[in-house]
Amino acid sequence: MDRLINIDTASDIPQEYRDTPIGLLLEYHNEIRPLDAYSSAKLLIGMCMDNRKHLHIPDNFAFIIRSGGANLRYSEFKVSYAISVGHLKHIAVIGHNNCGMVNLIDRKEIFIQGLVDQAGWDRGRAEAQFMRFEPMFEIHNEIDFVLSETKRLRLEYPGIQVAPMLYLVEDNKIYLIEEK
């Protein structure tokens, strides 16, 4: 967690993000500035589907894609759509601590039994799904994954500003991740 940049005031926002939708996201969510009114989205937010996270942002301010671990690898058409049709130039990738997509193998049995009990699947089908998809969705470490996803998106969309962030579930604040 020593790689996190705390944002308590507008001056804590690095220069490259000030006066951009990324800086505004940090100001809104961390309650540095009051919410403004928007008629169209200003950025795309990729964040985890975890139910413990809720963003404090204005209505219409952002497109949001929620997926396990903030993994946008399988949402590229949606990302491209938001950029092209929504005319966006900014993406925030927001992971969070204590993410369920870290160390998925430890949840293998819970996953399998949950599909058997809740969805009526047979054990073989549930295990086959876990084994097929676990390597695609395992993120290993929240901060490292967000940084790698940020780098991947920057390479894919070189004209778009992409910022790596982490949501701490303990204090419900968003932090920038320091890039080394």
39 close to 13: Cβ distance less than 8 angstroms: no
Pair 93, 99: CB distance under 8 Å: no
Residues in a beta bridge with 167: 96, 174
Q: For each of the domains in the chain, give its residue range(s) and CATH number, in order of start.
A: 4-100+140-177 (3.40.1050.10), 103-138 (no CATH)
pTM (predicted TM-score): 0.94
Helix-then-strand count for the chain, H and E: 5, 6
Q: Are the C-beta atoms of residues 37 and 62 closer than 8 Å to each other? A: no
- Amino acid identity, position 173: K
Residue 36's identity, in one-letter code, is D
Look at residue 173 and give its three-state secondary structure.
Answer: strand
| β-pair type (173-177, 4-5) | antiparallel
Rounded to whole angstroms, how far apart are CA atoms 98 and 169? 8
Q: What is the pLDDT along the chain (180 residues), one digit of tens a residue?
A: 689 999 999 999 999 999 999 999 999 999 999 999 999 999 999 999 999 889 999 999 999 999 999 999 999 999 999 999 999 999 999 999 999 999 999 999 999 999 999 999 999 999 999 999 999 999 999 999 999 999 999 999 999 999 999 999 999 999 999 998
The stretches of 20-88 forming alpha helices (DSSP H) are: 21-29, 76-84
Please tell me the number of Cα atoms within 13 Å of 52 on its side-chain side: 15
